[in-house]
Amino acid sequence: MSRTAPQKQSAASETPVQRRRKVRLIPNAITLAVGQNLRHFREQSGMTQLELAMSAEVERTRVSKLELGLVNPSVLTLATICHVLGITLADLFSDIRLAHPPTTEGGPLRRANQAVLDKKPTPKRTKAPGKAAAK
């Protein structure tokens, strides 16, 4: 029984799932800005990544990835870290003026498995004038 080296698949023979995994969503401008602010406040408080991680009950590598903008943290994780640093979530986001438009308006995907709608959003319904809500 002879073994042969595995053959690399060409881009044309890749499945949609394999192609989708190549989408690079992070870091983006928002995660990078949050990471920079987080590092600033951590250094201002005189804490190391390890000290912050232990106090916030997260892994040190998680703090590193947050500061580098390589992960999209939950609000709970950020709130815990802010509590340890003695700041608020508002402080962490205070100078970030970035926006992330929806994909249907030309914004980038937020995650690799995100569905994209092909239709335009429906306009808001308004009540006809003079009609009161029936009770």
At residue 59, the pLDDT reads 97
Give the CA distances from residue 133 to residues 34, 43, 53, 116, 124, in Å, rounded to whole numbers and listed in that order: 46, 57, 54, 36, 17
In DSSP notation, 115-129 reads ----SPPPPPP-PPT
Contact 77, 63 (CB under 8 A): no
pLDDT tens digits, one per residue of 104-124: 776 777 666 667 666 566 667
Domain of residue 47 covers: 29-93
| Omega before 27 within 30 of 0, i.e. cis | yes
Axis crossing angle, helix 75-85 with helix 29-44, rounded to the nearest 10 = 20
pLDDT tens digits, one per residue of 68-100: 999 999 999 999 999 999 999 999 999 988 777
Residue 9: is its pLDDT beyond 60? Answer: no
At residue 99, the pLDDT reads 76
pTM (2 d.p.): 0.63
Inside any domain, residue 83: yes
Question: Model confidence at 126, in pLDDT bands (50, 70, 90)?
Answer: confident
Please count the structural domains in the chain.
1
CATH number of the domain at 43, please: 1.10.260.40
Rounded to whole angstroms, the Cα distance separating 92 from 66 reads: 13
